[in-house]
Chains A and B, each alone.
Chain A
């Protein structure tokens, strides 16, 4: 309360100070002071972002024009890496696998996240504990996640295999069979990320005014109609945010998980683009080629950022 009063008088005082005499020099001095302050406040992060984000972004493109091994020898080869990329079946396979992973994870995580949010939004007993349980996999590291699932999915001895046996089904090599491995990675990804999207959807749901539902109920709308005509449209900003974030996390994430869980296999069936980059760089020592592939990812991410900035007018995901 007092703070408000003080600031009101302060505002008046400033108007008084801005009287014709000496206002221009005072303003200029203040402007200079502000610029200098802004410079120092922005310096550490700007320098850090420059050296560890912007330079690497540029370097990703520049290195792509070189043949470069792990020991630091350079050789300019022009578009060599890019033509090699165009003709590299493993590159295209990793693009295809990334897209499949995207198509598998994003819709699933959207539906599961929203469904869980609708469930834990209800005033049901023990809802706090239920929310916590649904969220907890998200805080576990992907290395641990990979280990636990590898253990559970072990052929013959794993608990999943035993459960399948108990209901009379054949044992499946969820991680050893090329046609199953990517699907398994999708399920695991949804399992550890669903809590995150549940929380985001929950925040979006809580922003929808309760009166809308009251009015719809008075008009005799049933639950499905209320969901269709109120929840989904008013949730559009949240949904948009979820699709963007999930897409990004699918393209860039997954590296840790695939690294420990499958090592890109079996038969390259889980070699995501980002894992292929890592493989080329640090397993085959092809830093230049890896950078060229990585630069494609950088361009994709910049395009996503630009789209996001444009559509949200500077990162505002609200309705108006």
Chain B
């Protein structure tokens, strides 16, 4: 009796499913192996770093101590945080405003504006790197936080996703507020924004990650070491300490740790924003 009940509850544990589980676990371990190898190596001594064992025989924190004392790593991380957080906040604010107008306000020329914005959807920063550099240089923003932040804010992607979401909201939402004499700004603030909290938080995680991981634009637009973001910091560090893998791996682990933590805590939001990006 209890035997059948347990099997009924745990219908996952059938033989084909266990076989698939073993396959899945094997593939999962294979996938995270490079990252485990990186973290393991970062705790090894210089003599041991090329050993064939995943776990260090003599775990040490010296590599981390070295990284943080030899280069201003905290400064790099702070720069990355300032840039990523500012870009995320500005982008979500501006994109939700634009998306609200494109989705909920009837006005002449709306479809044309949307089409224009849509046409830039695939023109990402790497494609127009050189002319964007020329524009930012003529605005005098080379080697400044503004140069790191402002060009990264604007892309059609966020507008597009938020517009899709706002279009799907029921039309009655604003009508009551409009009859009450509320202005569009107040409707945006007190009706639309609260409703968009889930999609905004999903996009926030996504934008923050993308900017934390960004490398080529900071490389192009800054040369001042004080403005170095973390990706640039570890790339420069690797050039200086080529071959000292124990230090390089510690630096890489520190740079990856915030993204891993974000993934750990916000996995649902990340997955949601990818699903939304499936243009549904």
Contacts and interface: CB of A to CB of B under 8 A. Distances in A.
Contacts of B216: 255-256, 259, 278
B215 A41 contact: no
B25 A137 contact: no
Of B31, B106, B175, which is in contact with the most chain A CB atoms at under 10 Å from its CB? Answer: B31
A294 B126 CA distance: 9
Contacts of A243: none
A28 interface: no
Given A34-B105, A41-B100, A301-B122, A139 B259 contact: yes
B38 A56 contact: no
Contacts of B159: 45
Of A7, A13, A142, A298, which is in contact with the most chain B CB atoms at under 10 Å from its CB? Answer: A7
A287 to B, nearest CB: 6
B154 A45 contact: yes
A297 B275 CA distance: 27
Interface stretch (A82-90, A102-110, A124-132, A224-232): A124-132
Contacts of B35: 136-137, 140, 148
Contacts of A159: 37, 52
B215 A142 contact: yes
B52 A162 contact: yes
Interface string A279-320: 001100001001100100110011011101100101111100
Nearest to A251: B127
Interface string A52-87: 111111011001000000001000000000000000
A11 B183 contact: no
A309 B168 CA distance: 19
A35 B175 contact: no
B134 interface: yes
Contact of B274 (A8, A130, A196): A196
Given A139-B263, A144-B252, A203-B280, A133 B95 contact: no
Given A4-B172, A57-B123, A34 B131 contact: no
Nearest to A55: B135
B32 interface: yes
Interface residues of B, number: 106
Contacts of A220: none
A56 B172 contact: no
A241 B179 CA distance: 41
A41 B98 contact: yes
Contact of A125 (B21, B150, B238, B256): B21
Contacts of A143: 213, 215, 231, 234-235, 252, 255
Nearest to B53: A159
A318 B25 CA distance: 33
The binding surface of chain B is classed by DSSP as helix
Given A60-B130, A140-B35, A200 B21 contact: no
B55 interface: no
B113 interface: yes
A152 interface: yes
Interface size for chain A: under 10, 10 to 19, 20 to 34, or 35 or more residues? 35 or more
Interface string B152-173: 0111100110001000000011
A60 B29 CA distance: 44
Contacts of B41: 151
B97 interface: yes
Nearest to A7: B172
A5 B184 CA distance: 22
B199 interface: no
Nearest to A159: B37
A306 B124 CA distance: 15
Interface string B178-213: 110001110010000000000000000000010011
Interface stretch (A114-122, A171-179, A208-216): A114-122
Contacts of B105: 34, 37-38, 41
A34 B27 contact: no
A10 B177 CA distance: 9
Given A119-B27, A139-B213, A308-B122, 19 more contacts: A7-B176, A34-B106, A37-B105, A59-B131, A59-B135, A63-B134, A125-B18, A134-B28, A134-B31, A143-B252, A148-B38, A151-B249, A158-B50, A162-B52, A199-B274, A259-B216, A277-B129, A290-B130, A298-B127
21 contacts: A37-B105, A45-B159, A49-B117, A124-B12, A124-B24, A137-B31, A139-B263, A139-B270, A142-B213, A147-B248, A151-B245, A154-B245, A157-B50, A248-B124, A252-B122, A255-B126, A259-B216, A277-B130, A282-B220, A302-B122, A305-B122
Interface of A: 3-4, 6-8, 10-11, 13-14, 31, 33-35, 37-38, 41-42, 44-46, 48-49, 51-57, 59-60, 63, 72, 116, 119-120, 122-127, 129-130, 132-137, 139-144, 147-149, 151-152, 154, 157-159, 162, 191, 195-196, 199-200, 203-204, 207, 238, 241, 248, 252-253, 255-256, 259-260, 274, 277-278, 281-282, 287, 290-291, 294, 297-298, 301-302, 304-306, 308-309, 312, 314-318
